[in-house]
Structure 1
Amino acid sequence: MSTHDAVPVSLAEIARIAGVGRAAVSNWRRRHDSFPTRIGGTDVSPQFSLAEVEQWLRDNGKLKDVGGRELLWPRFEALGSRNESGLAVAEAARRMRSSRARIVHAELSAQARDLVAEAAKVGREEGPRETFEFLLQRWLETHVRQLSTTPPQLATLMARIALAVRLGPAEGGLTLLDPACGTGHLAAAAAQEYDGPGLELLACERDPALAALASGRLEFVAQDRDIRTRIATADSLRDDPFAGAKADIALCNPPFNERDWGYEELATDQRWTHGLPPRTEPELAWVQHLLSHLKPGGTAVVVLPPAVASRRAGRRIRGSLLRTGTLRAVVSLPPGSAQPHSVSLQLWVLRAAPDNPAAAPPSQDALLVDATRFARPGTREPSPDWDSLGSFVLTAMAALGHSDQEPPEDTVRVPLLDLLDDEVDVTPGRYTAATTEPSHKELALKWDEFGSLLTDLADHARRLSVLGFETGTPQTTTTVGELVKAGALTLRAGRQPSETVPPARGAAVPLLTIADLLHDGTPGGLLPTDSAHATAEDGDVVVAGAARAFKAWVHEGPPIALGPQLYALRVDAEKLDAHFLAGCLRAPANGRQAGTHASASSRVDIRRLQVLQLPLEKQTVYAGTFRRLRAFEALLAAADSSGKGLAGDTSDRLAAGGLTT
């Protein structure tokens, strides 16, 4: 094979194929003269021949536990075209389920057809559904800038809301509609959450590649279950393939801000029962399209940009949705919930009127939920705390239709008379913010708590301020690396988790990352309990080896898995006190001296960190003082947060008037 015909792979791709870090591949290239030569790319981002890399990895025993699917994706990517690679993955899914399935997409090239056959063979050997999901995920990651997908966690939340809010049992089965299904995330989530009799999935997508992939995914979902699927390739607004069909629930993440949605040709369409959507309001066209397909009492949950809740052009339609009791709730999601990640998107919960009005009399209010506080900033873009977010939103939804049930914090029932003004603005934050003003009693309690914090803080400050230190006496130190060599401790490094399906909570260990530390220190992910990740157990010292989050502490509690730039140090209790070790390591000057660069993004060389050399009995004395210093730091942070909150709350009360003293 010539270099022109070779399938190119990068160092990062080679690392994924071999199941190692990129640094390991760089080391192989540097140390082994037999490593394949570069065929393209640049000195910074070189590319190599996949066939030559595969042969080298096999010859050197680097592919022992790697499945064939890892070697497939670079060949799909080499097809070049987004559409052809997507259609090829979809065709492979069909062939994985049945070796006799004929090629549906005749436009596929001979190269793509050969690849489909090979992928089908690998899928039948390594698991058809797992292989398809792997290829689909890689395809989505490759074309992420060209696609807008619904994250699985958001899809699950939307399905749970729809199933919880709809009226009446699903006698004889349930029908779900998604008129802009993408690759089928929402329909797949609904199938996963629904456990009743019979399910019919109606899905439509105008992009042929996405529709084919959705079909492949939903066919796997329906396998061995009482599920019927109908996936159409069409523009739902202009050419509705399910005209006349009625659904129990509808889920949708429609395209945003599309001016060419069919305004002229659809001006007299019968679906616009709440008013003709303005040209600049395509999202309200999708909302009414969903409503036109709902059975009486059926529920729709739709993802919308926040501007739809307040733009003047759509106020008449919003007013009609409220007056008829159709718009039941609006949920403001945290930034990062879906693309675009910088925006706080909204979920609109809509419900069609039931056949029997007595079963659900028209509502006189709407439920507005502000869930933006559940954001978790990531390394590059924010991501929500999905567990807490889902629990909060579902608890809030339980208050729908139950006027005697108190909604949770940041949730408010707003009377229609307050909403039906000149603006008809249904943005939750506009109304929930007004409910956060503390009462006089609540404010007094907060001042008492703040006073207790200051008392404890002063006590710790008094004890720490009297510490004495000798000067001029040289102190002997050693390094973590030397302690490891001496057997006084063992060092394990965390790493980037491999691509796996999120495990069930009952069979998982929490995953802590640097991003979690920069947020609130709570592990934000889960890994299978049998994963090969380094874990910190009760009594281990954990060190964050990134300059921007440098710290060390003794882990107390159940095991946690560690992400990149996190390290677990297990001490020999006869030689080292864990709290003494953590106290020495966390000194800011220690981190600066061991840093590899001067910037905040640099790494800290854990093995170079300095530790005092003291006998065990004296270590215990130091350990007690280190623990008091940590308690002082925690109290200081709590007092800072509490004090700022009190200043804001008191300012709100003053601005509201009523000062008596």
Structure 2
Amino acid sequence: MTAAEISRIAGVTRATVSNWRRRHGDFPAPSGGTDSSPLYDLEEVRGWLASRGQHTAATPSGELRTLLRLREPAGVGTSDLLLLVLAAARRPAELTGLLALADADLVKQANDAAAEVADVVPDTEPVRFTTADTAVLRALLLCVRDEGAQTALSVLAERELEDSAASGAYRTPEPLANLLALLLPGTPARVLDPACGSGALLAAAARRGARELYGQDALPVQARRSAVSLLLAAPEAAVTVRAGDSLRTDAFPGLAADAVLCNPPYGDRDWGHDELAYDPRWAYGVPPRAEPELAWAQHALAHLTPGGHSVLLLPPAVASRASGRRVRAELVRGGALRAVIALPPGASVPLHIGLQIWVLQRPEPGGPERKSVLFVDTASDAASGTGPGAATGTAAGTASGTAPGTAPAAGRGGTAPASHTRSGSRSATVDWARITERALGAWRAFTESPDTFEGEPGVAHAAGVLDLLDDQVDLTPARLVRASRAGLAPAALAAETGAARRHLAEAAKSLARTAGYEDWSPAGATAREWRTATASDLARGGALTLLRTAPDAARGRTDSGTGGSGGTGAPEARPVLTAPDIAAGSGPTGDPAGLRGGATAPVIATGDVLVRAVAGGGGPMARVAGEEDAGALLGPHVHLFRPDPARLDAWFLAGFLGAEENIAGASTGSTVLAVNPGRLRVPLLPLEEQRRYGEAFRHVHELRAEARRADRLAEETARLLSGGLTGGQLLPGGGPSRGRDTTAGDVPHKTRSRGSQSAR
């Protein structure tokens, strides 16, 4: 094991381990590795720690992760352990007794239990646990007992994916999986996911009442993981999962499902274009080589019963690429495409791209004619930061902008490049409640009465089939719903614009009041000089406590499902406060699924000072946690300073910790500037003087918040005014009277006569 792993199991820093090596002659000698990266024997290290009364601080999932890293290549197989997770989850009352067994008895019980469930997990080898595997077996059973089967499952899948060429697998975020499942009308009983990944979409379908779940994935580890996960999450459903490439080797050729849910791999040009050129699934045209997503869309339609629905998550380029125009046209003309819903960037990997949801329906012979397609843009408010949330001064969301073109290529089975999965700090603030409300509201109203659906200008619009079948067949929702605003009545737009202007005026007055704070005075002829201490010094003196989420929470390439989080209770029930939340001034918006099971995520309390761990970008570097933040988990890339209120004022601390020159002095790196929290410096002042500074810093915080709110409202007001002028609903002040039809070349008679006389 490495020095980093020793620090993790001992619950100390790596610097402490280095000190142990230098100061204690009986510290275990390296058993391998190099001089710069030595490796140590796990049992020797544990014995040394025990001799010093240093008990392990690793969580059960962390212990399991360490033992899996140390196992020999010819040791216990992950497939066997996946089976054991399932068997152990079905016998929760027996786990404590199993852990107390002797090694030989434990191995026999584990072999028997795993063999009993071997037939339900695809591509597993015969179970052959030996006494050499007992350490891993005990760690696994302890993890299932104390942190849950899903946590153990994620650790196992994570380990096998690290050894796979297709790294970077990720789980579809649970709110997004739920939205895709909710878009299925009724309660479909039989649901298929042909690129099931970790099984998140099928689990969401099971929560909707599906009783037959079918999944296939090209990565065997993902197929096995999905099978076990679904058997745990939906014990009453019939689960069938197979490994293999669904496009090339369909495991369910005769299956007619009530619904298909799918988050297929994007941008994969090696999807079998040449060998599948004459495949009968291409009822709407042969997908071009550069359009694998249209192959997945037709594969889904081929597996539906007549009238059944499919919901797919696709990159935005599928709606507009020239190469896919003919297939898009046939999907629209044939009535198979029912809706396209745009999501804001940050909703799912790749985080920098606003993905789209396509809702398809297999036409019924003799069924109704489909005259229109629904388009919804849920990204409009999230991208601009406007809407009701902005009017009340809360951030509806931030986004980095939608990149044109195709999303980066992803591996089979719902995988994506690891560089994207590690970009949690770039994730936009996503208001899932608002997105879900808008998407479902428009979809349900449209399905109830497609011919009379009126939509919502700027958000939802039902476009006629004939209007879509032009030279481009561009199905981008933002283009179509923005164009639909021209149909809004002038009086309605004028009322909306008037309300926006009133909100802006109120925000401007509030900003002026905040900016008018006059309790500032010059320090004298020269700037005040400070006697300072570092945050490390203050922590050693007990004036504050410095906390941060363990690195395991941010380093993984797979999600943790619903794994536990080192002493934080149930992380799935808590939001996560992220670095972008601090920069945007929003409440906690992070996904708890992004915290791995072995992570130690502190729970935020009112009065904590939160500092972004990476310098740069827009927005403040620090803030004081308010009541809306209390109870949230601390996300990765955020430092938490918990001051002793009898010695440090929170606002005073936040103001100086987040100062530009302080951050610069405590940062290291060239491209990415990482903030060393212990090096941040704080002036040593009496508490009463700290409070005076703290009050001033609080006013600065309010000024920044009011400025953000006014900026959002100004953008929204300008957008409404500009759209009303160009759309013909609003007239400029001082212009021709209402109702007069004049053009740039039509000049009133009297004005023209006076002009002629002047010319003469």
Question: What TM-score comes out, normalization by structure 2 length?
Answer: 0.69
Matches within 5 A, 1:54-133: 54-64=46-56, 66=58, 70-74=62-66, 76-77=68-69, 86-90=78-82, 92-93=84-85, 96=88, 99-100=111-112, 101-102=114-115, 119-120=136-137, 122-127=139-144, 129-130=149-150, 132-133=152-153
Q: 2:476 aligns with which of 418, 423, 427?
A: 427
How far did 1:571 drift?
Answer: 1.0
User: What are the superposed Cα offsets for residues 229-277 of structure 1, whole Å, 9 maximum, x if unpaired?
Assistant: 2223343333433222221221223333444444444444332222233
* Alignment partner, residue 275 of structure 1: 285
How far did 1:578 drift?
Answer: 5.2
- The answer on 1:362 being equivalent to 2:416 is no
Aligned mates of 1:34, 1:417 — CA distance in 2 = 82
User: What are the superposed Cα offsets for residues 115-172 of structure 1, whole Å, 9 maximum, x if unpaired?
Assistant: 7676455444542724641433432662587246452425x634543344324x55xx
Are 2:30 and 2:40, in contact at CA under 8 Å, matched by a contact in 1?
yes
Aligned mates of 1:34, 1:329 — CA distance in 2 = 69
- The answer on 1:157 being equivalent to 2:189 is no
Aligned amino acid, residue 576 of structure 2: L
Aligned mates of 1:231, 1:325 — CA distance in 2 = 31
Are 1:370 and 1:432, in contact at CA under 8 Å, matched by a contact in 2?
no
Aligned amino acid, residue 309 of structure 2: T
Q: 1:215 aligns with which of 220, 223, 227?
A: 227
Aligned amino acid, residue 610 of structure 1: P
Task: Give ranges in structure 2 of 5+ residues lacking alignment.
Answer: 91-109, 384-396, 401-422, 554-559, 594-598, 735-760
Question: What TM-score comes out, normalization by structure 1 length?
Answer: 0.78
Aligned amino acid, residue 215 of structure 1: A
Q: 2:583 aligns with which of 494, 509, 518?
A: 518
Are 2:201 and 2:262, in contact at CA under 8 Å, matched by a contact in 1?
yes
* Alignment partner, residue 550 of structure 2: 496
Aligned mates of 2:696, 2:305 — CA distance in 1 = 68
* Alignment partner, residue 254 of structure 1: 264
Aligned amino acid, residue 430 of structure 2: D
Q: 2:622 aligns with which of 530, 540, 551?
A: 551
- The answer on 1:321 being equivalent to 2:331 is yes
How far did 1:289 drift?
Answer: 1.7
Aligned amino acid, residue 681 of structure 2: R
Are 2:583 and 2:621, in contact at CA under 8 Å, matched by a contact in 1?
no
Matches within 5 A, 1:369-448: 369-371=377-379, 373=383, 381-382=426-427, 385=430, 387-388=432-433, 389-403=435-449, 404=453, 406-407=455-456, 410-434=459-483, 439-448=493-502
Aligned mates of 2:485, 2:132 — CA distance in 1 = 59
Aligned mates of 1:516, 1:137 — CA distance in 2 = 30
Are 1:584 and 1:612, in contact at CA under 8 Å, matched by a contact in 2?
no
Aligned mates of 2:75, 2:10 — CA distance in 1 = 28
User: What are the superposed Cα offsets for residues 445-503 of structure 1, whole Å, 9 maximum, x if unpaired?
Assistant: 4444444444444445455287465447978866586877888x543534338666268
Matches within 5 A, 1:348-359: 348-353=358-363, 357=367
Change (3 A) 1:613 1:544: farther
Aligned mates of 1:396, 1:143 — CA distance in 2 = 44
Q: 2:683 aligns with which of 595, 601, 610?
A: 610
How far did 1:610 drift?
Answer: 0.7
* Secondary structure in structure 2 of the residue aligned to 1:127: helix
Are 1:516 and 1:522, in contact at CA under 8 Å, matched by a contact in 2?
yes
Change (3 A) 1:484 1:318: closer
Q: 2:166 aligns with which of 146, 171, 178?
A: 146
Aligned mates of 1:30, 1:405 — CA distance in 2 = 75
Aligned mates of 2:467, 2:289 — CA distance in 1 = 27
Aligned mates of 1:405, 1:654 — CA distance in 2 = 22
Aligned mates of 1:18, 1:376 — CA distance in 2 = 40
Are 1:328 and 1:350, in contact at CA under 8 Å, matched by a contact in 2?
yes
Aligned mates of 1:201, 1:647 — CA distance in 2 = 49
How far did 1:208 drift?
Answer: 3.6
Matches within 5 A, 1:524-535: 524-525=589-590, 534-535=602-603
Matches within 5 A, 1:221-260: 221-222=233-234, 225-260=235-270
Q: 1:10 aligns with which of 2, 23, 36?
A: 2
* Secondary structure in structure 1 of the residue aligned to 2:309: strand
Aligned mates of 2:473, 2:448 — CA distance in 1 = 24
How far did 1:416 drift?
Answer: 2.0
How far did 1:609 drift?
Answer: 0.3
Matches within 5 A, 1:436-585: 439-464=493-518, 467=521, 469-471=523-525, 479=533, 490-496=544-550, 501=562, 508-525=573-590, 534-539=602-607, 547-548=615-616, 550-553=621-624, 555-557=626-628, 558-563=630-635, 564-572=638-646, 579=651
Are 1:93 and 1:132, in contact at CA under 8 Å, matched by a contact in 2?
yes
User: What are the superposed Cα offsets for residues 579-605 of structure 1, whole Å, 9 maximum, x if unpaired?
Assistant: 566556655556566778998433344
Aligned mates of 1:536, 1:263 — CA distance in 2 = 52
Aligned mates of 2:429, 2:74 — CA distance in 1 = 29
Aligned mates of 2:169, 2:605 — CA distance in 1 = 37
Aligned mates of 2:29, 2:485 — CA distance in 1 = 64
How far did 1:228 drift?
Answer: 1.5
* Secondary structure in structure 1 of the residue aligned to 2:462: strand
Aligned amino acid, residue 230 of structure 1: T
* Alignment partner, residue 601 of structure 1: 674
Task: Give ranges in structure 1 of 5+ residues lacking alignment.
Answer: 1-8
Are 2:157 and 2:221, in contact at CA under 8 Å, matched by a contact in 1?
no
* Secondary structure in structure 2 of the residue aligned to 1:231: strand
Aligned amino acid, residue 313 of structure 2: V
Aligned mates of 1:115, 1:188 — CA distance in 2 = 35
Q: What fraction of aligned residue pairs are identical, expressed as a percent? A: 31
Aligned mates of 1:21, 1:392 — CA distance in 2 = 47
Aligned amino acid, residue 182 of structure 1: G
Change (3 A) 1:217 1:471: same
How far did 1:552 drift?
Answer: 4.3
Q: 1:184 aligns with which of 177, 181, 199?
A: 199
- The answer on 1:194 being equivalent to 2:193 is no
User: What are the superposed Cα offsets for residues 359-393 of structure 1, whole Å, 9 maximum, x if unpaired?
Assistant: xx635232333437356675654366373444554
Change (3 A) 1:28 1:218: farther
Q: Which deviates the most, 377-386 or 413-422?
A: 377-386
Matches within 5 A, 1:11-30: 11-18=3-10, 22=14, 25-26=17-18, 28-29=20-21
Aligned amino acid, residue 218 of structure 1: L
Change (3 A) 1:606 1:526: farther
Aligned amino acid, residue 184 of structure 1: G
* Alignment partner, residue 635 of structure 1: 706
Higher strand share: 1
Matches within 5 A, 1:304-343: 304-343=314-353
* Secondary structure in structure 2 of the residue aligned to 1:273: coil
Matches within 5 A, 1:43-58: 46-58=38-50
Are 2:507 and 2:706, in contact at CA under 8 Å, matched by a contact in 1?
yes
Aligned mates of 1:362, 1:602 — CA distance in 2 = 57
